[in-house]
Structure 1
Amino acid sequence: MDTFDNFQSEYGGIGDDDTASIISGYTQRTGAGPSKLSLNAADALDLDALSIADDHVANRRSELANDFAGGLDDDFDVNLEDNGIGVDLPEYAYCGIHSPASVVKCLVCSKWFCNSRGNTAASHIVNHLVRAKHKEVVLHAESPLGETTPECYNCGSKNAFMLGFIPAKSDTVVSTLCGYIKDISWNTALWAPLIEDRSFLSWLVTPPSEQEQLRARQITYAQINRLEDLWRDNANATLEDLEKPGVDDEPQPFSKDAYQYQNIFGPLVKIEADYDKRLKESQTQDDVVVRWDQGLNQKRIAWFNFPKLESGEVRLAVGDELRLRYHGDSHHAWEGSGHVLKIPNSEYLDEIGLELRRNDGVPVDCTHGFSVDFVWKSTSFDRMQLAMKTFAIDEKSVSGYIVSHDLEPTILRTQMPKRFSAPGLPELNHSQMYAVKSVLQKPISLIQGPPGTGKTVTSASIVYHLAKMNPGQVLVCAPSNVAVDQLTEKIHATGLKVVRLTAKSREALESSIAFLTLHRQVAAYTSHTELQKLIQLKNELGELSQSDERKYKTLVRNVEREILAAADVICCTCVGTGDPRLSKLKFRTVLIDEATQAAEPECMIPLVLGCKQVVLVGDHQQLGPVIMNKKAARAGLTQSLFERLVLLGNRPIRLQVQYRMHPCLSEFPSNMFYEGTLQNGVTAPERLRKNVDFPWPVADTPMMFYQNLGQEEISSSGTSFLNRTEASNVEKIVTKFFKAGVVPAQIGVITPYEGQRSYIVTYMQYHGTLKKDLYKDIEVASVDAFQGREKDYIILSCVRSNEHQGIGFLNDPRRLNVALTRSKYGVVILGNPKVLSKHPLWHYLLTHYKEKQCLVEGPLNNLQPSMIQFSKPRRALNKSMEQFRRHDYSDAEATSGAPVLNDARRASTSAYESGFYRTHDPLGYIPSDIQSVKSSASGLPHFGTAAPFGPSKQKARWLDVAGVPGGTDASSVSGSQFEHNGSIVFSQSDRIRRRNSFTSMAGTSDIGSMSAYDYKSQDSVIDADDSESQYAHSVQSGVTEF
């Protein structure tokens, strides 16, 4: 049993922390405000028995469950068996247990829940708080502690997820503190959270006895999840309502007819839209304090703090629309909406800046009594629906290639250019050149761009040639504004006339390509003198008269049409292509960048504008689109158009040469995720900074896995995780980089969990030993948010560290791929090897680092090789990845309602739902058997076929000659000679062995050559399934950008 002394030694005496999740406690509600809670002898509570994780009865239940997946609400997803015991129990509880000492009331919805786990990995009350996003509770009046509300002693916060306790000097008193105070001398090393291991501590809320749990309703996780969904619409819903017809109807997956396509995807988009609307409208913030300002355009600007943003509960982006409401006594009721100009962590701001649309009646004399609401807009969803309706009746587009699995692509007659590199851009390498050549001849093309392979340059070169060779304009789009801006800049460098179309709400934002935006080009349209006069007048006065405003809008529309008509290329987001200003234009050629991050209906918006030739660029081995609604995701909305076309037999052309990472950093991702085909376009000396004095374990190998054994905690939002030990060490590593001469802009800190991201930001601000401004300039982001980005040095905090709950969506291979491929000069990973090694993919990574002598422990100034013994993976890698494979999917099966399980092993019992196999395929190339082969970068195993340079050119099925899942099609790369490796098969008996030399799949290579070795497959497999992988990204502000 962990005592306070054990807790103190484990957490290393963490000092005062100024975050809201550090030091807090609970008080007994007495009517006199917060106070200390006295524990007398009658309570039978001994402080020596206050356990950090002393819920043995509940833990016996949790051992029956699968691993507990982690993060962002979905971390509490566990599918378990239904024991089927049904009795007449109270409606307000999951299970009907109503012992006063064991139940807790949610103060938000007034429902009661017990502290037992039942058939789930978290206690029922914690399950409810997480699912409902509620945070305040009260104990039963007849419990040993009475009607007690856990509440912060200092500030009165009742957030159960950030509350903890510290014993006072008296052995019978638990004192309360708040994380925001600095001046009170408390021993913060003794602080412990009230929620441990997904349940309230047993001395606070007693777990029900074994007898009570056996008599209780055996409610399953699936029933809990469905019931919570019902409560969002009907607070009085009961378990009996789950049995009503239509309550749990799942949407149908995609079929293959254009009309049926629209009939299937239309409802999915509607489900996602409804969920997004409900989510936005629930994010109201009350009691907001506002300060007023006035912009240069005479518009009012409201500045205020948004606590829900600071805690990570909501996401906000520049350009989002918010509604500000006043309901105080100093002014009549007022409300006004506007767009976000500034957000915290931008230009040293701690407040949100909201520019109001109108200045009429603004209560500028008032500062208190305001509320802030998110304004939900259906624009993006409406455009998706309209695009699918248009797609269903458009017979002259590329629709046949999108829905048909029988249509063979034709070769377009075109005059090929003599030179494939574009002016103003770097020279293309062999694989980039082949990609450009291939795209120009096909009506539909897929280009896979692994990390750092120059897909933006390749895309810009393709656009240049398409614009020069074909009449009309080229439409270029991507799901995010950042990706569009990057591609716009490259295309402009070729000399083409480019127009960047942005949403009205983003026109005030500055960027490197602002001069290319349509509204800036309109403002600079000097040939129209009348318009220039009106623009000048509007800038001076802030607004025009009604007649002048009408004239101004008419002139602007006319000039916009002229500019768009004269452009060679128009760039905007996928949703932005539905802008009315483009409705009259026809685009024969469309290129969609980052296509694997866009939902399929989102990609349809640009494709219904007359498209006859489409190029999709992306990487289906990295993270996919963000879909918030689980039903829509299970039905296929989470699968990108790019990935589905791969399933239909369209082989992507893979770019082969990476220019980002030090060769030692690209070694593992290349072999694990790209069959070892990535070549290094940079040498080790070019990516090694000897003047940076950082304690790398191996001087010429800038990577290390830094062992951290501190335990994870639920963050203050209740829907994410944090790890204080890792956060503390992140600050030490960042400080070490600073002292070595690395500037903040060169460092990126990434973590899968929003709770940890928020905690690290605050921790560095209050505990960094150097100037605070240095730490403010460090970019700390989620792994998902960093996709498509790079930094010189990356620090990855894994967070997960527990005994029973698993590693959540850290087990997602695509997320690991993204995390490992962001850095150029070095990477530091912080995590618990004992926990992570239970999962085969991480076991391979840890073994790789250990073999390289880069797995270390101890203080930074005295790092030592870690002697920790890895846990045995629950299954071999090839077994654990079977759920990601589609071995014998024919084209018909890929679009059918349910997958056809041709592989006998696929028909076995699995924790994954049937739709999972089709919609999530991060490692679709891994074969059933594995045999070591020689690698171009290392001896790590190749998972896949000899593709892209193998002999197979068949496209009718998603299988190569050897019957192994195909990779990419680049068999005709100009200027390169490749050997045929035959089929790649791994045997179970292979052992780790070293070789002094090796031959690459592309012949002998001396670029970034490493000593090679193979990993053996696991000799034994544990039958238990791994924890359910999480594919939900951190919550974004909306599904799409426009």
Structure 2
Amino acid sequence: MATSLGPTVAVRHNVPQTEGLRQEDEVSGKEVDSEDNTGRSRGVTKIFEDTTKKPSFNNLHLPSSSSSSSNSTPPKPSSTRSRSTKRSSLYESINNYQTSQLTSLSAEFKYEEGIVLQRISDCRDGDVDRIEREGEGCYDLLPELRGTLLSDSIYRLSRNPKNPPNLFSHNQGKFKPNDVIVLTRQSLGKGDRTSCPVDSDAVKFEVVVSGVGPTYIDVVISDQAKFDETFSNDQTFLRADRYFSTTSYERMCEAVKSFCNLEEEEESLTQYRDLVVGCFEGAPNNRIDQTSKYMSTPINGMHKNKAKTAYSTALSKFSLNNSQLSAVALSLSRKLTSIIGPPGTGKTFTGCAIAEGFTHLLNSNEKVLCCAYSNVGADNFARGLKARDLKVLRVGRATAISPDLLEDSLEYYLENDKKYSLALANAKKATKAAKNSRDKNAKMEATAAVKKADVEKMKAAAKIMENFNVVVSTCIGSADAAILTAQGKAENYSPPSPLSFPYLIIDEACQSLEAATLVPLTTTRCKSIVLLGDPMQLPPTVLSSSPTLETSLMERLTKNTPAPVMVTAKKDVEDSTEDFLKTVKLNNTGKQGAKYIKNNGGGVLLKLQYRMHPSISAWPSAQFYEGLLATPTSMIAQREGGGAILETVSAKLRERTNFFGNVGVVHVESEDGSALEERSEGKDGIGEGTFKNLKEAEIVTTLIHTILNEHQNTLAPSDIGVITPYNGQKTLLKNLLSSTQPAIEGVEVNTVDGFQGREKRVIIFSAVRSNKGKKVGFLSDGRRMNVALTRAKDALIVVADTTTVGGGDRMWGQFFSWVESNTNTH
């Protein structure tokens, strides 16, 4: 059954998710959902053509932006004399929007595809062992079934269990959970270096990494691959290459096409489309205002009293401050609401309160869909909803879902469905019999059994979904076959009473590509949308530097739509402190926050943060939110332990440290002024080198030892996080922490991207850059800086060559000056 996977899928035009420009370092924290439209991991499409040709976007079967397909061109609305000019203008705007999105997605795909193709081509035409040396692939891997996680089959890929770890550990060094890799069967067996995924006759599969050990890689294989002899023969050797998910591109392309080709009778969605297109092109204000007015009203058929009842019910379960109350009330009474949640303001918590309210507006066969950009975000959303006793179903691959939520997953319930389990067992039995038979009927029976198992799976999924009020998935995962089938949109099965998802909440909306945000919008045909995010934190991750893709849909909407009319007016019950905020010179010269409000007026701002000591939040509040982000006075006492930690750091490093409140800066410069940074060996995910700084890494390691020794009764290693912009430094720090005596386990080391949405009691930031030219790379990205400085609850310690970093970037220079000028004043 399985085989060289060629042109079997007719798809669409789109691009991936993004996060700041990666001109120097590996794309860290970029997560993909590698499930296809059947809800399972898909085989590799024929993306790998002859590598003597330039990489071709069409090899993936995504149409080019100039496609003449009638399916990808928005239909011209019928015109009359009275409205022909207006409608023609709108049609042109829709067409321009589609072309721009699809062209940009095409460029993004080509960029990512080109990296993979170039690496494989270089390996085939020259140094065949290069992929192993650089950690981009492995040869001579034997697959062994290790078990299952719900419906996922887990295979362990290893060379020889008897090999010591050091013979393998470097080769799989770049593989990490949720990575997509291509497995190619080595036709000549062990030692074969000629079999290559670009060969037309190659047998290859796209799989997802579920875990990595010192001598192995664990992967999840697709339902189809389960039945292939490749994974049932203990003498089959495989080659593994780092790859990327094509599914996200396909689903985003389909979403853009669907969004731009709506039927006119779909009033709600066409209004969303007209608003999005208007904001994209900078349409006349009257068109945006007119559409925005429509969005500010309740969905058709819903009386305001019903929204008030839902609001009151939500309040009984959630303790909300004034700005959160406003956000909930607006969301329950409008068709579109954007909620801006700066660090620590309870953005996801507010989203959960809104979901609670939506559940009280549901009619028969209606559900709420909650999405997030990443699996981590979706899990956080599901946890928050579950904590308020909502009936939540998490949809996604079992290996991508946090273990504590597995029993709330669709896969868990499917595993316990008797009809589906029986059909799956019959499919496995029939397939096994077909492998050992030359009888054509046996193969036909096996094919029929597999199809029946698929149908039973969708029947069971639709039935299971009826029992839950809220479904949670990633944005890309919202196009899962189970969600589509439950709505009666699948070809092989339609439930007797299809479900609908009139209410949609999207968290992490400012991290998501615009096209990715359109996926849940178009697959559900929702009527009321809530977007949660922060335009001042990390944007989508874009590799091709496309301006179209670098701006999220939420950011575009908040900048171009009019301010919503607030529906609550009472004061916050908690007093906020401005003592530390007063020490920072605000960037605006007029009314506090005037510029910020002007640039983000279309959103509701959550204004109280409950994460950081006020000294930690002061500078980000002034720099990125013009002083609008406040801190309750109660946080001073709750986070007072950070001061003692800074005293410990100061005593250890003496004159090299400045600290103000719970914020410290450790100065790291060479004695002769020479550069301390160095390029790491190998290449990162976009073909560029990465940086590391040994002296900084050693100081960070010393600080962690000192802090844990002095505060062992109040701090655990898991309370400390280390953030660095570069993967080279991340690797170096991990090695130092594990090799010191005694070794430190439990301290999390990650990149800025990996820490977005996270928090720790103590954060140490290693800036890395140190050179005579004061080059700081993407340290100058303000949104990246905002994330780095707002993860700490009790204490923030920045370790940096302040001459390089402060001299190379104005904002960092202002931050260092602020700490130094206020040292020891509090």
Same fold (TM over 0.5): yes
Picking from 729, 732, 740, the partner of 1:759 is 732
Distance apart, 1:688 and its partner CA: 2.6
Letter in 2 for 1:354: V
Pick aligned residue for 1:373 from 236, 241, 246: 241
Corresponding residue number in structure 2 for 1:353: 218
Could you tell me which residue of structure 2 aligns to residue 579 of structure 1?
480
Aligned-partner SS, 1:567: coil
Alignment partner of 1:769 is 2:769: no
Q: Closer, same or farther in 2 for the Cα pair 1:673/1:709, shift >3 Å?
A: same
Amino acid in structure 1 at the alignment position of 2:182 = L
Distance in 2 separating the partners of 1:670 and 1:792: 19
Change (3 A) 1:806 1:283: same
Q: Is the 8 A contact 2:678 2:691 kept in 1?
A: yes
Equivalences for 1:517-528 in 2 at 5 Å? 517-525=409-417
Aligned: 1:303 with 2:139: no
The counterpart of 1:591, out of the listed 505, 515, 530, is 505
Contact 1:457 1:490 in 2 (8 A): yes
For residues 215 and 768 of structure 2, the distance between their equivalents in structure 1, rounded to whole angstroms, comes to: 26
Secondary structure of the 2:177 match is coil
Larger Rg computed on CA atoms: 1
Q: When the two structures are aligned, how many residues end up with a matched partner?
A: 600
The equivalent of 1:623 in structure 2 is 538
- Cα drift, residue 821 of structure 1: 0.4
Out of 404, 411, 432, which is 1:512 matched to? 404
* 1:612 match: 527
How far apart are the structure 2 equivalents of 1:515 and 1:321? 28
- Deviation (angstroms), 1:540: 11
- Alignment partner of 1:685 is 2:637: yes
Question: 1:307: how far off?
Answer: 11
Match of 1:326 in 2: 186
State the secondary structure of the residue aligned to 1:614: strand
The one-letter code of the counterpart of 2:147 is L
Aligned to 2:259: 391
CA distance in 2, matches of 1:818, 1:749: 13
Q: How does 1:105-116 map to 2 (within 5 A)?
A: none
Give 1:676's aligned amino acid: G
TM-score normalized by the length of structure 2: 0.66
CA distance in 1, matches of 2:430, 2:316: 42
Distance 1:556 1:354, change over 3 A: closer
Distance 1:779 1:391 in 2: 41
Q: Cα offset for 1:574?
A: 0.9
Structure 1 residues 329 and 788, CA gap change in structure 2 (3 angstroms): closer
In 1: Cα distance, 2:166 partner to 2:261 partner = 46
| Aligned amino acid, residue 487 of structure 1 | F
Corresponding residue of 1:646: 558
Structure 1 match to 2:72 = none
Amino acid at match of 1:643: E
Q: Quickly say closer, same or farther: Cα 1:748–1:256, change in 2 above 3 A.
A: farther
The answer as to 2:240 corresponding to 1:288 is: no
d(CA) in 2 for partners of 1:233 and 1:647? 43
CA contact (8 A) 1:717 1:755 kept: no
> By how many angstroms is 1:534 displaced?
5.2
Q: Which residue of 2 aligns with 1:556?
A: 457
Aligned positions of 1:230-269 closer than 5 A: 257-269=93-105
Question: Which residue, 431, 440, 446 being the options, matches 2:323?
Answer: 431
Show the counterpart of 2:787. Answer: 818
Structure 1 position 786, deviation (Å)? 0.8
For 1:353, the aligned partner's letter is D
Q: Which runs of no fewer than 5 residues in structure 1 stay unpaired?
A: 1-70, 77-129, 131-230, 236-245, 247-253, 855-1009, 1012-1042
Task: Determine the structure 2 residue equivalent to 1:992.
Answer: none
- Counterparts of 1:325 and 1:570, CA distance in 2: 38
Aligned partners of 2:260, 2:99: CA distance in 1, in Å? 9
Partner residue in 2 for 1:714: 679
- For residue 493 of structure 1, what is the aligned residue in structure 2? 387
Give, in angstroms, the shift of residue 847 of structure 1: 1.5
Decide whether aligned partners of structure 1 residues 533 and 258 sit closer, same or farther in structure 2, where only a CA change above 3 A counts.
same
Distance between the aligned counterparts of 2:692 and 2:289, measured in 1? 49
Give the match for residue 724 of structure 1: 694
Q: Provide the secondary structure at the position in 2 that maps to 1:837.
A: helix
What CA RMSD, in Å, does the superposition of the two structures yield over aligned residues? 3.7
1:829 Cα deviation (Å)? Answer: 0.7
2:389 paired with 1:417: no
**Equivalents in 1 of 2:433, 2:720: separation in Å?**
47
- The percentage of aligned residue pairs carrying the same residue is 25
Asked if residue 275 in structure 1 is aligned to residue 79 in structure 2, the reply is no
**Quick one: structure 1 residues 538 and 659, their matched pair in 2 at CA, closer, same or farther if it must change by over 3 Å?**
farther
CA contact (8 A) 1:318 1:339 kept: no
| Aligned-partner Cα distance in 2 for 1:255–1:818 | 40
CA distance in 1, matches of 2:659, 2:725: 28
Describe the shift of the 1:509–1:543 C-alpha distance in structure 2 as closer, same or farther (beyond 3 A): farther
Inter-partner Cα distance in structure 1 for 2:391 and 2:97: 36
Residue in 1 that maps onto 2:47? none
SS in 1 for 2:696: helix
Q: Tell whether the 8 Å contact from 1:449 to 1:455 is kept in structure 2 after alignment.
A: yes
- Once the two structures are superposed, what CA deviation does each residue of 1:15-43 show, in whole Å capped at 9, x if it has no partner? xxxxxxxxxxxxxxxxxxxxxxxxxxxxx
**1:673 Cα offset (Å):** 1.2
- Cα offset for 1:400? 2.6
- The letter for the 1-side match of 2:177 is A
Shift of 1:432: 0.6
Assess, with a 3 A threshold, how the Cα gap between structure 1 residues 760 and 573 changes in structure 2: closer, same or farther: same
Contact 1:574-1:602 within 8 A present in 2 as well: yes
Q: Is the 8 A contact 1:73 1:720 kept in 2?
A: no
> How far 1:278 moved relative to its partner?
2.3
C-alpha distance in 1 between matches for 2:802 and 2:817:
10
Structure 1 residues 424 and 312: CA distance shift in structure 2, 3 A: farther
Larger CA deviation: 445-454 vs 377-386: 377-386
Name the amino acid aligned to 1:705: V
Matched residue type, 2:107: I
- 5+ residue gaps, structure 2: 1-19, 27-50, 56-65, 67-89, 121-130, 133-137, 160-164, 196-201, 279-287, 435-445, 488-499, 563-601, 651-657, 671-675, 684-688
1:473 is paired with a residue of what secondary structure? strand
Rounded to whole Å, the distance in 1 between the matches of 2:706 and 2:726 is: 24
Distance 1:489 1:352 in 2: 29
Question: Greater RCO between the two (CA within 8 Å, min separation 6)?
Answer: 2
Contact preservation (8 Å) 1:663, 1:680:
yes
For the residues of structure 1 that align with 2:169 and 2:52, how far apart are their CA atoms? 22
| Change over 3 Å in CA distance of 1:516–1:765 after alignment to 2 | same
- Going from structure 1 to structure 2, the CA distance change for 1:255 and 1:669 (only over 3 Å counts) comes to farther
* One-letter amino acid of the structure 2 residue matched with residue 414 of structure 1: K
Distance 1:363 1:475 in 2: 39
* Residue equivalent to 1:676: 627
Kindly state the Cα deviation for residue 817 of structure 1 after the two structures are TM-superposed.
0.5
Q: Is the 8 A contact 1:722 1:755 kept in 2?
A: yes
The residue identity in structure 1 corresponding to 2:372 is A
In the alignment, does 2:705 pair up with 1:735? Answer: yes
Separation (CA, whole Å) in 1 of partners of 2:400 and 2:342: 34
Alignment of 1:882-921 (within 5 A): none
For the 8 Å contact 1:343–1:350, the answer to whether it is kept is no
Is the alpha carbon distance of 1:572 and 1:310 closer, same or farther for their aligned partners in structure 2, counting shifts above 3 Å?
A: farther
